[in-house]
Amino acid sequence: MGLFCDVKAGDKIIEGTVECLAVLHKDSDHIEVWDTDAECHFGNLPASFTADQINAAMRFYKAGAAAGRKDGAARKQAEIRAVLGIN
């Protein structure tokens, strides 16, 4: 899929974001936030958000994603051990 941005149509890339791309489509009520390769859509934020607010949201998202992978993997391993009876 990937990020779509048509500057000629009025879309705007938000300048000043770190470790992400953020685009506000013309007449949209939200900003799309993507990884720097424009392949993974992280989610949407309100159209009123500034670059600093987007960066803060990304720090929160990345911390949660890292913790979720760690905790999720441990939880899944425990579930598999229980199913296999190797606790």
Tell me the DSSP string of 34-81: E-TTS-SEEEEEETT--HHHHHHHHHHHHHHHHHHHHHHHHHHHHHHH
User: Has residue 57 been placed in a domain?
Assistant: yes
Give the CA distances from residue 84 to residues 30, 75, 76, 80, 87, in Å, rounded to whole numbers and listed in that order.
46, 14, 12, 6, 8
User: Has residue 20 been placed in a domain?
Assistant: yes
User: Has residue 1 been placed in a domain?
Assistant: no
What residues pair up with 21 in beta bridges, in sequence order? Answer: 34
| pLDDT for 1 | 62
| pLDDT for 45 | 95
Q: What would the mean pLDDT of 53-64 be, rounded to a whole number?
A: 90
The domain of 80 spans 7-84
pLDDT mean across residues, the chain: 89
| pLDDT for 10 | 95
| pLDDT for 87 | 63
User: Has residue 2 been placed in a domain?
Assistant: no
Sheet harboring 12-13: ordered strands across? 12-13, 21-24, 30-34, 41-46
Domain count, the chain: 1
